[in-house]
Chain A
């Protein structure tokens, strides 16, 4: 009991020291508040996955009521906005080549006959493949249930309907902001701890600390604790700004959200500590941190749908804490799911923390050699 109390005393001493240093280092302090604010503004306002009013050109060589109805129907989805008409497919391709339009609709002269034959495409949509988002959207549009059934003379009153769950207005901010908590935490937390031990080694503080009764585990705990607090403050900041500027609601339990965030913060801090046991200089530590950040942002499902990724990328994503946190936070904030209903991502985060802890403890010995 006495030994435990002593250990706690040393952990607290280190935590207090870290907080004092954090408060004094204006740049780091700026990172705590400035990075979340900047990121949420940039991501919230600039990233827009909603695709509306893509300029399109039409070549209608059939000129039947059916072909005109097809074009009208595609336009009615509001995804495409027909701005030009051309006489031949060649002109259409040229317009796409020139970048005048991104999408071309080509209705061949034998459109009516093709419609009656099952299995043959009646019309063609040409897409500028250099913009992946547009391509994806248009593919979805073409793949939607075809109302142009053989023999049907009239089209359904309503155009193709796409129903979106949980985010009915299809606003990107709603999808982005909760996961952005993870991205921002990932960005700041890893660097904080990655630098923390390397900086002390560079400045010679570590040589002194090693000769004191502080144990490695206490040193690591003392460095972790204050930043868990810092991470939770950042979480709050992002949520508040998200709600205030982008109307992102928190559907689920706030407590669940904070619990998930705390676990994720601990995992990323541990990753940072592991980095700091490998890096020799602060510069290396920052480089290594960035090295883990990019795959996190790209593969976690924050930007691109997880299911659409190749198998290898999905496997790599399993190792990244952000993947599991994005799962959890979208569940809690958007679907209102309780944490207990998502044990798998919780377990994976905990496992990441535990493994990183063991690796860091093995690598960080209280010696200089």
Chain B
């Protein structure tokens, strides 16, 4: 067992009836890093996380978390694991203080340690002035800070966060990620699922999931470098006309709009991508600006999910 690895999964598969939610996923998640699961809804992020913490039994495959077999010894793992569900899952009719008190007791944190630990979390997550407020009356960002405070109360080695920022405003999201980096700095391993590109960009490593399959894996930089496409950025006054004209370009994989610009993904084998795009746009009334662009994570995501879809259409090798 490699000590630098927090989670190791081999051939992890989960079927619900005929639907294969997670399909033969292999993972090696290093310790003390933020590891991201990026993928659209239904890509198998939540199901994978639930299998990693023992909430769901895999149909096949093996998982070892912090050196413990999740299937054989789930209880041993519970104390080392913090889990934040997609939906707020603390008790809305209890106050902030009561919720934390309950969780602390459940984890068997002794009477002396409990008060200090709770006070520290309240301070850290700016909840000290809301101890007596019922959780149900708080905003999305406050609830999420409370959930994080509760999930880290027993100082877990591994934090599993299932789309933690889906109900939160941008400022709260930024604060939340600052908190995550502080935790990683103290040695916690964090696995976070998201469908926000900017959040994925902040992870040390990423796994891109698509319809249950692991489509790509690596650091955000490595993923961008390894993209199997040329990215051309087009800026035009009549963006719709430009989009229509681009459809004629040979080797075009996809076109996505980013504000007033278009990102066109072209197959790598196209010899002169800039030239062919410029040629396609020559008839626009106002000339378009065409240049090579550095691939963003969004481009990577589009490229790998397109490949997955194409692979699925081809008969199985």
Task: Check if B255 is an interface residue, CB within 8 A of chain A.
Answer: no
Contact A368 B55 (CB under 8 A): yes
A159 at the interface (CB under 8 A from B): no
User: Is A367 interfacial (CB-CB < 8 Å)?
Assistant: yes
A367–B93 alpha-carbon span in the complex (Å): 25
Question: In the complex, are the beta carbons of B78 and A211 less than 8 A apart?
Answer: yes
Given contacts A207-B89, A208-B90, A368-B50, contact A10 B106 (CB under 8 A): yes
- Least CB distance, A306 to chain B, in whole angstroms: 43
- In the complex, which residues 81-104 of chain B have their Cβ closer than 8 Å to any Cβ of chain A? 81, 83, 85, 87-94, 98, 102-103
**Neighbouring A residues of B56 by C-beta, 8 Å:** 367-369
- List, in ascending order, chain B residues with CB within 8 A of A205's CB: 89-91
**Bound-complex Cα distance A366 to B83 (A):** 15
Q: How far is the CB of B158 from chain A (nearest CB, A)?
A: 11
Which of B75, B93, B98 is in CB contact (< 8 Å) with A25? B93
Contacts known (A25-B93, A203-B89, A204-B87); A367 close to B105, Cβ less than 8 A: no
The answer to whether the Cβ of B268 comes within 8 Å of any Cβ in the partner chain is: no
Residues of B within 8 A of A204 (CB): 85, 87-89
A95 at interface by CB-CB < 8 Å: no
Q: Does B105 contact A10, Cβ atoms closer than 8 Å?
A: yes
Closest Cβ of chain B to A26, distance in Å, is 11
**B57 on the A face (CB < 8 A):** yes
Assembly CA distance A10 to B107 (angstroms): 8
Within 8 A of B (CB), among A296-311: none
Q: Which residues of B contact A367 (CB under 8 A)?
A: 54-57
Nearest CB in chain B: distance from A220 CB, A: 15
Does A126 interact with chain B (Cβ within 8 Å)? no
8 Å CB contact of B94 from A12, A17, A211, A369: A17
Is A6 within 8 A of B83, CB to CB?
no
What's the minimum C-beta distance from B149 to chain A, rounded to whole angstroms? 13
Q: Please give, as numbers and ranges, the residues of chain B lying within 8 Å of A369 by CB-CB distance.
A: 56-57
CA distance A14 to B93 in the complex (A): 14
Interface centre among B83, B98, B105, B106 (most CB of A within 10 A): B106
Q: Is A21 an interface residue (CB 8 A)?
A: yes
Residues of B with C-beta under 8 A to A208: 83, 85, 89-90
- Structural contact, A213 and B105, CB atoms closer than 8 A: no
Which of chain B's residues have a CB closer than 8 A to the CB of A16? 102
21 A-B pairs (CB sep. < 8 Å): A10-B106, A13-B102, A14-B106, A16-B102, A17-B91, A17-B102, A20-B94, A21-B93, A25-B93, A204-B85, A204-B87, A208-B83, A208-B89, A210-B55, A211-B54, A212-B78, A212-B107, A213-B78, A214-B106, A367-B56, A369-B57
Please list the 5 inter-chain residue pairs (A to B) with the smallest Cβ-Cβ separation, ordered nearest first: A13-B105, A204-B89, A208-B89, A211-B83, A204-B87
